[in-house]
Amino acid sequence: MNDILLDVQDLTHCFRLGRRTVLRAVDKVSFQLHRGEIFGLVGESGSGKSTIAKCVMSLLRPTAGKIRYLGVNICDPGQFRAHKKLLQTSRQMIFQDSASSLNPRMTVADIISEPMAIHRIRPPRGTHRDEAAFQLRCVGMDAAYLDKRPGELSGGQRQRVAIARALCMGPDLLAADEPVASLDVSIQAQIINLFKHLQAEHGFTFLFIAHDLAVVRYLCDRAGVMFQGRLVETAPTAELFRNPLHPYTKALLSAIPIPDPRRERARVLEPFDPDRFDREGVLAEAAPGHWVLKKEAP
């Protein structure tokens, strides 16, 4: 398959909490990202979504499993070093809290041109500053903001700056770790629309991590549901919302409020009981492209 950009196989990551205790944050997760798609990863807090993103971006080293990016096994230090430049320029990440992901002592122009400065890339539009101005306009901000510092910008503006920084290298893979969670709803809508527009324009592959189902439904082509470190279900978004198969997904989807009081009152909540949900088993294809975690046949 040539159109698979990222192939995650049995990814496991454990955090050592103490001498004896080990927290299995991500447990045998496998999924694939196709070129140019938007893949949403949803799940409650602590289900391991951010850990997956950090493993994919090589910020954490997985305990077990393989991550292949363009055929390069990025968990292998030797292969990583051999393709360092490619991996560092073509994968970019956007963090949740834009206030802390931008250095408070740098100006917007310096922040956006940082990746170009690191890799000593001659920007296509002359100087670093011109390139930063261009990227800033691409995310809908005026070039007059170039000399501001993050402390002088609003939350939405800071997130736009973070997006501009990620996009100035023309990445193939963009991972966003709950990029809209710290913004209020109207700004969330702007940023989500901006993502949609930018993705259509640049065609990058987008790993979008969220806990907001409505956002995932609106933005993503495919979605995966995480539960306590396991990926329990992945399917095209429309299919997932129409026909959830795993009990956890059903419970999660039934919890979406309906913006109509009469139907909202009649809504039946699936009982939420973490012990009832299977965490064991392997992903099995229930319908074309729709994979569910199932116990292996005895």
Partner 1 sequence: MDKRFIQVGARSPLPDPAKKPRRSVGKPAAALAVLAVIAAGCLFCEAFIPKDPAYMDLYHASQPPSRAFWFGTDTMGRDIFSMIWHGGRVSLAIGLLSTAVSTGIAVLSGAASGLAPKWLDGLFMRAVEIFLSIPSLLLVVFLQAMLGKAGVLSLSLVIGATSWTSMSKVVRAEVRRLRGSEYVLASRCMGGGFFHILRRHLAPNFFPSIMFMVVMNVRSAIAAESTLSFMGIGLPLETISWGSMLALSEKALLSGAWWIILIPGAFLAVSLLCMTSAGNWLREGGRQDSSHL
Based on the shown chain and the rule CB under 8 A, indicate whether residue 133 belongs to the binding site for partner 1.
no
Q: What is the three-class DSSP state of 259?
A: coil
Residue 93 found at the interface with partner 1 (CB under 8 A): yes
At residue 231, φ and ψ (nearest 5 deg) are -90, 110
Binding mask 11-50 for partner 1 (x = CB under 8 A): ----------------------------------------
Contacts by 109-118 with C-beta closer than 8 Å and gap 24+?
109/133, 109/146, 109/147, 111/150, 111/161, 111/165, 112/136, 112/161, 112/164, 112/165, 112/168, 113/168, 114/165, 115/89, 115/165, 115/168, 115/169, 116/168, 116/169, 118/88
Q: Does 122 bind partner 1 (CB under 8 A)?
A: no
- Using the minimum distance from each CB to partner 1, give the nearer residue, 145 or 206: 145
Closest contact distance (angstroms) between CB of 140 and partner 1 is 4
Q: Shortest distance, CB of residue 30 to partner 1, whole angstroms?
A: 23
Touching partner 1, residues 46-85 (CB under 8 A) = 57-59, 84-85
Per-residue interface string for the shown chain with partner 1, residues 195-214, x marking contact by CB under 8 A: --x-----------------
223: left (phi over 0), alpha (psi -120 to 50) or beta: beta
List residues bridging with 139 in a β-sheet.
Answer: none
Q: Which residues bind partner 1 (CB under 8 A)?
A: 57-59, 84-85, 88-89, 91-93, 95, 97, 99-106, 110, 114-115, 118-119, 137-142, 144-145, 148-154, 156-157, 160, 162, 165, 169, 186, 190, 193-194, 197
